[in-house]
Structure 1
């Protein structure tokens, strides 16, 4: 009923007096100035990249908690720094021993990506030695909620991820734990938490669910133990890589990582991409290196300098403005072929986190990244109008007490006005 009233109001405004553009602006302003938005913080910017005209600016220079809209900056960083295929590991052969170190590549035996390049490569060697010395980051990001440690969307960061740094427990058709190394660490009983906070003891109640994915605690010894179980062979831990020229093994196509990053809003991949970028830019793995580099170089002309503390947007410490989001989206649009770019972003009504919202009757007209935390919802991306014009937008909502669905309904009505009016 509310959506019907909104659509009626928009129709009356858009098909009233004045030019189509002015009527559309008035219609959008009427909704944003309504009592619904009074007790929350809202920012909305729309850019025409062809004319470089800002068509609408509502609190565009104000800072918002972006949630997973942060992944837009992470994607841009990856596109600017990483090769077409993921650097899977660095290695050096010395006599009969293969020394190797991680690059942060998230794809090795990932439960859903299932890339086996690294596995096949390491399995050929009978003497393996692993160095963890290049990882100079923390397992958890600044400002992450402490009680997220046991939930699938919050795996730890690491130099050499295995199985997405999570344990996948499945009840049917047969009880299975992946990686198998943790099978004896799973207790089949109901418990308040899925895992002990400081150790790898997991709880699984098959009467409540058939499948459960739980992050595990990572360190060099855990990596060593999992690899030894995988290869049925010992793996030595060494303090550092030996002297000599390191080679790089390349694995999965990066675009497959980017699609999962954006369509599934995969926090783990987001965090690891910045770590991989750090390894390309420096000799250590620390996501801050990548963030600082991109802000000081490719994004030195951002309208407002952000507070950017992680790759995923899990942290509420992140602060970005709608204008800065639009700036980065425009940079990507200018540099990446449209077909490739729009395949990476979820399509409204069709794919990823937008499969149930912002759908077009004939074809998708929105390609965008959503971002959700409790009481916050943001959406930034690209909008195709009925006349074929391409618009770039960022719509950020913070601290609302309405349901997310109510907020999305208002947003969708505004997007439909843009599609009709330009």
Structure 2
């Protein structure tokens, strides 16, 4: 009797799966965007069973869902105690308010380092009585760095979400300002802190009445952190600017020169760049970033590209004991995740942020990374760092995620760029099994995006919740009936 009951139950489960496939196929035929490439996979994490999948193995642009891979690889390779250190060394001790020789500031590629924290470093020196450096001040970092990954879109490079990834990072290698209209004409004026060591030439205009057929701003990136803003901006309201610097080492040198001067520490020599520390040195001041878990929280919640790619380089440095690059960092990440059981055989990993148009991942590969986060105690804390629909991060204001049935219950990493709208994460809802999902949409039509009532990801997740609500209760009743008979 028990064998017969088990056989009937297995038959019911297979029939239920077939019905689920038909259910989703019918719904997807209605909600799938007609001009996009889509890939989905949804898994019941309690029963460890696939609820539905379609095109789960095709390779698509992951965009910022790639940061899930970076978070897991960084945790595995670097450990939760990891932090960045910015340190000051000298040959000689401070005596009578002086150091009789050179001083070295070792930069580590800390993506969170600010000019205020550098000022605090100099204050450590003045608190020790230092007033004069009788030598040169060297800024020590990597030489001939790869500042952008292959496949980054060239017209993104002047924008701060694609700021250069360097051992020299201050204030996210980004300059903030404002483009404002003038009252008497169509001319504009740029306002940004005058002490910043950048030059921005501006000939842009405001099309206040929106009469011009073509109106776009253009930013030309010149040498020595020099920029030229041209073109026009439609409307008459001020526009916030966030401009990524082009030469981070030069920016660091000029910023440190200003900080040293305002700290009242006189440098008798020059402020120079160097790629190695002297063999004989003593540590005289240091700053530590926050530990890895807090950085990963910022990276996932805010989709911070600079943190992601700085960590990628650290992974490469740790794995191969050489200066970290996009190349060795990507290779190390693939190796680490493969050892953790993620099959990346046909994937292409080029950076840690997902900015590169050369990255390729499948929904199944992303689901394997999510499963690690859900099941492995080392990575479980990463789930708490995911944006929550209608509550936090990049899902706080995403259309259709700010209200029922998705609000509060979707915990996921977004992945958006021109033509791409991805989502990968979990559904955590009371009285419902925890679910894992990956939804990839590439080749999105700008017209359809503007006209759509809701994103494809939101429609699929609502379908998933509908399927696991009333139908689940009905199926359970059917199962009991089958077993009883």
1:194-243, Cα deviation, whole Å (9 max, x unpaired)? 34344422457996525311011124333212211122154333342112
TM-score by length of 1: 0.82
State how far apart, in whole Å, the 2-side matches of 1:353 and 1:22 are.
Answer: 35
CA distance 1:221–1:373, change in 2 (3 Å)? closer
- For the residue of structure 1 that corresponds to 2:167, the secondary structure is coil
1:253-299, Cα deviation, whole Å (9 max, x unpaired)? 43443233223222222222212333444231313323222321342
TM-score by length of 2: 0.72
1:290 has 2:319 as partner:
no
1:412 has 2:426 as partner:
no
State how far apart, in whole Å, the 1-side matches of 2:31 and 2:464 are.
Answer: 21
1:62-103, Cα deviation, whole Å (9 max, x unpaired)? 111111111211222222233445313255442244423322
Q: Give 1:180's aligned residue.
A: 195
Q: Give 1:221's aligned residue.
A: 250
- Contact 1:382/1:392 (8 A) holds in 2: yes
Q: How does 1:376-387 map to 2 (within 5 A)?
A: 376-387=420-431
Greater Cα offset, 158-167 or 411-420: 411-420
- Contact 2:91/2:282 (8 A) holds in 1: no
- Contact 2:91/2:280 (8 A) holds in 1: no
CA distance 1:314–1:297, change in 2 (3 Å)? closer
Shift of 1:408: 4.6
Unmatched 5+ stretches in structure 1: 1-17, 111-115
- Contact 2:338/2:344 (8 A) holds in 1: no
- For the residue of structure 2 that corresponds to 1:268, the secondary structure is helix
Q: Give 1:124's aligned residue.
A: 124
The partner residue of 1:329 within 352, 370, 373 is: 370
CA distance 1:272–1:57, change in 2 (3 Å)? same
- Contact 2:309/2:353 (8 A) holds in 1: yes
1:58 has 2:87 as partner:
no
State how far apart, in whole Å, the 2-side matches of 1:420 and 1:384 are.
Answer: 14
Shift of 1:155: 0.9
Q: How does 1:221-370 map to 2 (within 5 A)?
A: 221-232=250-261, 234=267, 235-243=271-279, 249-281=287-319, 282-300=321-339, 301-305=341-345, 306-335=347-376, 340-355=381-396, 356=398, 357-359=400-402, 361=404, 364-370=408-414
Unmatched 5+ stretches in structure 2: 1-13, 93-98, 126-131, 181-189, 206-216, 469-485
- For the residue of structure 1 that corresponds to 2:84, the secondary structure is strand
State how far apart, in whole Å, the 2-side matches of 1:380 and 1:169 are.
Answer: 34
Shift of 1:179: 7.9
CA RMSD of the aligned region, Å? 3.3
Shift of 1:34: 4.2
Q: How does 1:190-229 map to 2 (within 5 A)?
A: 190=204, 192-202=217-227, 208-229=237-258
- Contact 2:387/2:412 (8 A) holds in 1: yes
- For the residue of structure 2 that corresponds to 1:252, the secondary structure is coil
State how far apart, in whole Å, the 2-side matches of 1:372 and 1:256 are.
Answer: 23
- For the residue of structure 1 that corresponds to 2:192, the secondary structure is strand
State how far apart, in whole Å, the 2-side matches of 1:364 and 1:161 are.
Answer: 35
1:108 has 2:113 as partner:
yes
- Contact 1:141/1:315 (8 A) holds in 2: yes
1:99 has 2:107 as partner:
no
CA distance 1:237–1:252, change in 2 (3 Å)? same
Greater Cα offset, 294-303 or 327-336: 294-303
- Contact 1:379/1:394 (8 A) holds in 2: yes
- For the residue of structure 2 that corresponds to 1:181, the secondary structure is coil
- Contact 2:224/2:247 (8 A) holds in 1: no
Shift of 1:190: 1.4
State how far apart, in whole Å, the 2-side matches of 1:23 and 1:349 are.
Answer: 32
Shift of 1:121: 2.1
Shift of 1:342: 3.6
Shift of 1:312: 1.6
- Contact 1:103/1:285 (8 A) holds in 2: no
State how far apart, in whole Å, the 2-side matches of 1:269 and 1:407 are.
Answer: 34
- For the residue of structure 2 that corresponds to 1:303, the secondary structure is coil
- For the residue of structure 2 that corresponds to 1:370, the secondary structure is strand
Shift of 1:159: 0.6
- For the residue of structure 2 that corresponds to 1:64, the secondary structure is coil
State how far apart, in whole Å, the 1-side matches of 2:444 and 2:360 are.
Answer: 17
State how far apart, in whole Å, the 1-side matches of 2:42 and 2:68 are.
Answer: 16
Greater Cα offset, 136-145 or 356-365: 356-365
Q: Give 1:43's aligned residue.
A: 39
CA distance 1:199–1:394, change in 2 (3 Å)? same
Count of residues in correspondence between the two structures: 397
State how far apart, in whole Å, the 2-side matches of 1:394 and 1:215 are.
Answer: 32
The partner residue of 2:441 within 397, 416, 419 is: 397
Q: How does 1:142-157 map to 2 (within 5 A)?
A: 142-157=150-165
State how far apart, in whole Å, the 2-side matches of 1:258 and 1:31 are.
Answer: 36
CA distance 1:296–1:121, change in 2 (3 Å)? same
